[in-house]
């Protein structure tokens, strides 16, 4: 009887932990705090009138301070800051030659991405680790902004 109770308690603790972790990790454009936005502005200073339209992080437990991908009304941005292989990529829409959407939502361990090909060989990927609907919102917004601004 005690073993069954202990097992039930462990299962409940596991479920609660999973719920807490999933709720804490997801930063997007709707829940970026003022401090979050200030952190992002230190990495990639936004121009006057520039605003983040969509934001995703695939930074795992370290969250958005390690990795972020976002779309503004003026450009696409990807950053990865881990202290070893730091990478910050940003490109304005008029500097983009082409975009290629790669949907990996059906592959559980890989993030989908938007391959960005820049006119100045500034090629990089914007990662979206989300469900299919959110992934395509991201892809479509990037394509829409690019077509409008080029």
Per-residue HEC secondary structure of 120-148 comes to: CCCCEEEEECCCHHHHHHHHHHHHHHHHH
Q: What confidence score (pLDDT) does residue 7 get?
A: 62
Contacts with 142 (C-beta within 8 Å, 6 or more apart), sequence order: 71, 76, 99, 114, 126
Banded model confidence at residue 37, pLDDT cuts 50, 70, 90? confident
- Domains defined for the chain, CATH in brackets: 27-149 (2.30.29.30)
Is residue 26's pLDDT more than 70? no
Per-residue pLDDT tens digits for 50-94: 999 999 987 665 577 888 999 999 999 999 998 898 999 999 999
* Least confident piece of the model among 7-21, 26-40, 80-94, 122-136: 7-21
pTM of the model: 0.77
Q: What confidence score (pLDDT) does residue 74 get?
A: 97
Tokens 């991405």 — which residue? 113
Nearest to 97 by CA among 44, 147, 47: 147
């Amino acid at each position: 009887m005690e073993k069954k109770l202990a097992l039930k308690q462990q299962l409940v603790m596991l479920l609660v932990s999973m719920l807490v972790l999933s709720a804490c990790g997801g930063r997007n454009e709707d829940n970026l705090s003022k401090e979050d936005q200030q952190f992002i502005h230190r990495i990639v200073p936004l121009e006057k009138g520039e605003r983040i339209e969509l934001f995703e992080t695939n930074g795992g437990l370290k969250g958005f301070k390690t990795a972020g991908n976002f779309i503004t009304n003026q450009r696409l941005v990807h950053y990865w800051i881990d202290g070893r292989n730091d990478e910050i990529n940003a490109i304005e829409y008029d500097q983009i030659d082409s975009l290629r959407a790669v949907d990996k939502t059906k592959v559980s361990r890989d993030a989908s991405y938007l391959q960005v090909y820049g006119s100045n060989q500034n090629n990089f990927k914007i990662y979206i680790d989300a469900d299919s609907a959110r992934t395509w919102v991201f892809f479509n917004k990037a394509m829409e902004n690019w077509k409008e601004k080029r």
